[in-house]
Structure 1
Amino acid sequence: MDRMGCKVLGTSTFKYVNPTYKSPKTVSTFLSAIKLFYTIMIQKKDYIYVNPLIDIYSKLEIEKSRYQGVRKDAPRLPHMAGTEEELSFRRETDSYFKFAKGAWAPEIIDDKFLPTLTYEAGKKHGWTLREIVIARLLYETGARISEIIGLTIGDYRSRSNINEANTFSKGSYGRRVKFIIFQQDTARLLMRYINKERKKYAVNKVKYEQLSDEEPLFISEKGTPLTYQAWYYHWNGAMAAAGIKLNPHKTRHWFTTARMRMIKELARNPDEYARMISEFRVYMKWKHEDTIRAYEHHFTNETNRVMQLDLHEKMKQDEAYYLKNRKEILRRNAETPHSSDSEPIVQDKEIQEFLDGLD
């Protein structure tokens, strides 16, 4: 990843290695060479462990399938003869790092009406206030879904502004190392959820002021902390019903694209552009424990807050425009349906580079 600029995507037993535009053409050669290196070291008895470049689970499955449909002690006829089915194991690999030939490219989602389409799909599908608030928080903050559904009452209460909350980040091990900013309208919906819908299902049926800091902000109908699986059931149902193929993580990409567009429009010179990008990078990608101090230092002049509020205002304007011109917009969307698996809508190298590795 560091030397070859690859994007590594994991599964439970092996990893896919996707090259990016930064990667040399020798990635697959390197993976083959390092696997062969361990094979030879094991044969020479200079390495006493199993080959770390082999996926043991795939190897077992391949070995299990080797004798299915094979005539023992008889050669196979060529595939073109049409008398024997091609064996699937010949196309499989037991490598732990499986090289993906297609270059990985981060997707730029640049449809300004996508948040409104999502909210509308949810309402039609019967989303409760909880699902609506969570969807709005995803689009308005750029946070990961785990960072949203993992919020506590204390996270929300600890900020002086009603439209902010402290939260953790990937790799922070639960430490609250950043804060998120959302719209005033969303804050009012959130408070309505806490005092009405949440209270209805909570074990401790009290209003916001009486709740302890440790209480989860979002709960299930059983009164337990909301899980990703329980939340995703509602998200996936609404998107499927509306014909929108949208992974919830793509809301983070949408937010990033929208903020990058705003930065490019507002920056008056290269230095200002670089400063804004640096600030935004810190906001989106926490990696070190003491980053919080750098963050507060960067935003003492509240540049991030101002830009976030500007973005929220633009989102409100786009939503109002959509509601006024819904029929025409839906007609255009029917011709080019949304899909998180499609090619990027906008080709912008600077945004793609910023999104490279975003997770």
Structure 2
Amino acid sequence: MHILFDTGCRVHEACEITIGDWQHSHFGREIRAINKGSFGVRTKNLYLSDRTVKILRKYVDTERYVVDKHGRKLRDLMNMPAPMAHETPLFLTSINTRFSEDYFRSHFWSPALLKAGIKLRIHQIRHWYVTMAIKNLKDISKSEEELEKNRHILRLLMSWKSDMLSVYDHSIQYADLPNFANQLHNKMEEKIKSENLITQKTKKSDSKDQDSEMTLMLNEMLWSN
């Protein structure tokens, strides 16, 4: 779910992520992903916050490791041959199969909604992300020229198909994507903290901490709309 909040990607795009999609960045902040209508081809990049990277790495070494029939941890996946890595799902079910949208909805989305006591369509995360990104464009733009450039970069970040893409050189735009995404993450997190929607939690079990964080994310999404 953290990937959805960080990137505004679609559920099926997140479910299709493989080890190879993340391996190329050395399990850092960038993940390759499919796009709507790309027929399985990785045509866009997802940029994660540092917090989500830590959560994903922990997931690989704990939850995923338990259900991986080969018992592989992050250090093992780093050395996995590329062809095998591109065939190996990042997210595994309890029976060692790739996540499906239905599995994610029943095991993660629905329980989080139940705990938060709210009703939401999962696609609203994508709308929330875009809305927050647009709201924060002015905050990270120092001039009208930079604001217009950032609008175009956002279109690239979301991999939208449009005839109105930037007049700027594409190589410059793509180089700006990671930094642009990082600025958005920082602004979003600052906004949440300023409204006291992220609080210091005492040490609890991992599952309880994750449930609490999911509730905060969902509440923030509702509040911001």
Classify the TM-score, shorter chain: 0.7 to 0.9
| CA–CA separation in structure 2 for the residues paired with 1:250 and 1:209 | 35
Matched, 1:242 2:116: yes
In the TM superposition, what whole-angstrom CA distance separates every residue of 1:103-125 from its partner, at most 9, and x where no partner exists? xxxxxxxxxxxxxxxxxxxxxxx
Q: Normalised by the size of structure 1, how large is the TM-score?
A: 0.48
Counting only pairs closer than 5 Å after superposition, residues 161-240 of structure 1 correspond to structure 2 as: 162-211=28-77, 212-213=84-85, 214-233=87-106, 234-240=108-114
Q: 2:185 is matched by which residue type in structure 1? A: H
**TM-score, normalised via structure 2 length:** 0.74
Decide which structure has the larger Cα Rg and report it.
1
* Counterpart amino acid of residue 322 in structure 1: L
**Change in CA separation of 1:199 and 1:323 when aligned onto 2, cut-off 3 Å:** same
Q: Following superposition of structure 1 onto structure 2, how do residues 344-359 of structure 1 map, counting pairs within 5 Å? A: 345=225
Instruction: Tell me by how many angstroms 1:238 deviates.
Output: 2.2
Q: 2 CA distance for matches of 1:260 and 1:168?
A: 23
3-state SS in 2 of match to 1:174: coil
Q: Equivalent residue for 2:189?
A: 316
More relative contact order, 1 or 2 (CA 8 Å, 6+ apart): 2
Q: Which residue of 1 aligns with 2:10?
A: 144
Amino acid at match of 2:2: R
- Residues 338 and 159 of structure 1: CA distance in aligned 2, closer, same or farther (over 3 Å): closer
Q: 1:226 to 1:161 in 2, by over 3 A?
A: closer
> Could you tell me how far apart the structure 1 residues matched to 2:145 and 2:188 are?
27
- Structure 1 unaligned blocks of 5 or more: 1-134, 327-336, 346-359
1: CA distance, partners of 2:93 / 2:221: 29
- State how far apart, in whole Å, the 2-side matches of 1:210 and 1:272 are: 43
Bigger share in helix? 2
Q: Is the 8 A contact 2:60 2:74 kept in 1?
A: yes
Identity, in percent, stands at 26
Q: Does 1:265 align with 2:139?
A: yes
Q: Which residue of 2 aligns with 1:53?
A: none
| 1:172–1:219 CA distance, 2 compared to 1 (3 A) | same
Question: What SS does the corresponding residue of 1:279 show, helix, strand or coil?
Answer: helix
State the one-letter code of the partner of 1:299: Q
Aligned-partner residue type, residue 281 of structure 1? R
| Structure 2 residue corresponding to 1:307, chosen from 159, 180, 184 | 180
Moved more, 153-162 or 193-202: 153-162
